[in-house]
Amino acid sequence: MTIKRTISLMLAALTFIAMLVSCKGGEETAVVTTAADTTSAIEVETELQPYVDKIDYNGASFFIQAAFSQTYNKLMFADEETGDVFYDELYSRTLMTEEYFNIDMGYNCELQEVELIPAVNASIMAGDNKYQLVLSNNMRGNTALVTQHMILDWNTISTVDFSHVYWNSSVTENLTVSGKNFFAKSSYALPTYSLVAFNKGMAEEYNFGNLYDLVREGGWTLDSMTDMSKVITRDIDGDGDFDINDAYGICIMADHPVNSFRAGCEIPLTKVNDEGMLMPAVNNERMITMLEKIYDIIVTRKLAWTYPWKAVLTEDMYIPMDSGRVLFFFQQLTWMTNLRECETDYGLIPYPKFDEAQETYHIDDYGKLLTVPVTVPDPNMVGNVCEMLGYFSYINVAPAYYESLFNQKVCRDEESIEMLQLCADGLLYDPGMTFFGLDGALQAFMYFPCNMVNQKNNNFSSFYASKEEQAIKQIQDFYIAIEG
């Protein structure tokens, strides 16, 4: 298949980023020819042949189960063409895959997160082959999926080749346990991560310089964020009480966006020891220093307005970007679509680094992972379908998604596109988060930053000491169950 698109320089960048997001590594690359005049249209030609031959599965059912998500499922499923380029590509992906294999595809994403794993287990126990593919949360329920032997090792599916460009090699490399890959990710499951919107007008008014250049030069750190936030934060009404009506350097949800500072500062939850086993990796000076700085920013100095997690956020909870009273706004990329009507000009940048010595900007991917129930009668058929879902997503869906971010004014300048590329380059897949994110002592370690802020207690060393033995046993039991 040869696909030719005539697009502007901006959309060429979007396409390039979509490819970066799909996978790091792989042999295939897009051939991009650019014109000297950057304001004119250029032609981008992508040649990539499907690796899977057409197979007639005689109308077999291929059902995908996911949990409800107000925002993320909009990146995965579309029931009809709407005229929106991205959603039309989602819909076309299903039709093309159905036609390629003569299958009947369906999906359900109405279950709540806590209902997903029990539903998968019930289907396995019944042997009803209800689900051919399950999209799991990157941090919820995965311990049970693995230790209760609900899902296949992708390495046993011979029709899957993770060297293909649309598979995410970071997932297969970092989430391998005991030589097994229970989770996979391709362009089919777009990433979603937290990042920072900043008020351009305020940055200029207070002479903070070009924040994009600050990022490029490696100077966007916890300390530089703190210094700018000190200048912005003030008690506007003079009542001596900092509330939602005052000005802050930062506005952030006191939940996973606060927890994401750990990933941004390159601090993994777990590391592999000399015996090849995961072990807790957060009890160190880097973690303690990061926590002290976040505590100082949010609790001690009150440089940030925080608000709790809610399934649906309303503007009486947070300080809007167009209020002119917040410089940095932290949220997930999927949520940033809410800024499309924002009249204040803003830009997007990654999470700050721990310090300038840290080479790369990092962040966790909160998107979905692909899993295959152990009871599917034809795993190779599932592998073939997943290959083509990844292929069509890489060619059509991912570029359309990033194009839609620009068209919907989520990304308002070329620099923001460049910053998304930085985020994509630095996506982390931490086995501690994936396997234990909402389970036991390791969950407590992962959620310590936001709990610290909410409970105003930053004594991490004693907290870790009280949980270390439990965390180690949790991991040991996990390995025993895998081998059992």
Residues 66 and 136 in one domain: yes
Strand partners, 278: 272
Among residues 23, 66, 111, 113, the alpha carbon closest in space to that of 437 is found at 113
Q: Are residues 285 and 310 in the same domain?
A: yes
Residues 42 and 155 reside in one and the same domain? yes
Q: Is residue 416 part of a domain?
A: no
Q: Which residues, other chains included, contact 414 with Cβ-Cβ below 8 Å and sequence gap of 6+?
A: 9, 10, 13
Quick one: 137 and 229 in the same domain? no
The C-alpha atoms of residue 333 and residue 413 are separated, in whole angstroms, by: 16
Q: How far apart are CA 133 and CA 408, in angstroms?
A: 31
212 with 266, same domain: the answer is yes
**34 within some domain:** yes
Helices (H), 337-457: 379-392, 398-407, 414-425, 431-436, 440-446, 448-455
- Tell me whether residue 87 is in a domain: yes
- Answer yes or no: do 10 and 107 share one domain: yes
Q: pLDDT (tens digit, 9 = 90+) per residue, 161-198?
A: 999 999 999 999 999 999 999 999 999 999 999 999 99
Residues 16 and 81 occupy one common structural domain: yes
66 and 159 both lie in a single domain = yes
Per the structure, the complete domain to which residue 270 belongs is given by 194-364+432-483
Model pTM above 0.85? yes
Q: Kindly state whether residues 211 and 342 are assigned to the same domain.
A: yes
- Does a structural domain hold residue 468? yes
| Residue 73 within any structural domain of the chain | yes
- Encoded tokens for 414: 């070329």
Q: Is residue 289 part of a domain?
A: yes
Q: How many domains does the chain have?
A: 2
Do 399 and 339 fall within a single domain?
A: no
| Ordered per-residue pLDDT tens for the chain, 484 residues | 333 333 343 444 444 444 444 444 444 433 332 333 333 333 334 568 899 999 999 999 999 999 988 778 888 999 999 999 999 999 999 999 999 999 999 999 999 989 999 999 999 999 999 999 999 999 888 999 999 999 999 999 999 999 999 999 999 999 999 999 999 999 999 999 999 999 999 999 999 999 999 999 999 999 999 999 999 999 998 888 999 999 999 999 999 999 999 999 999 999 999 999 999 999 999 999 999 999 999 999 999 999 998 877 888 899 999 999 999 999 999 889 889 889 999 999 999 999 999 999 999 999 999 999 999 999 999 999 999 999 999 999 999 998 888 877 789 999 999 999 999 999 999 999 999 988 889 999 999 999 999 999 999 999 999 999 999 999 999 999 998 7
The β-bridge partners of 221 are: 353
Q: Is residue 424 part of a domain?
A: no
CA proximity to 163, closest of 267, 24, 294, 55 = 24
Any idea what DSSP says for residue 141? Answer: S
Same domain, 116 and 224: no
Q: What is the pLDDT of residue 398?
A: 93
Residue 31 region by backbone torsions, left for phi larger than 0, else alpha for psi between -120 and 50, else beta: beta
Give the Cα separation of 367 and 153 in Å (integer). 20
pLDDT at 36: 33
Residue 263 lies inside a defined structural domain of this protein: yes
Same domain, 265 and 302: yes
Please give the Cα distance from 279 to 285 (Å, whole number).
17
Place of tokens 């995908």: 64
**Residue 11's pLDDT is what?**
46
Q: In this structure, what CATH number is given to the domain that contains residue 291?
A: 3.40.190.10
Question: How much is the pLDDT for 483?
Answer: 86
Gap between the Cα atoms of 411 and 258, Å rounded: 23
Triad 276, 278, 280: Cα angle to 5°: 140
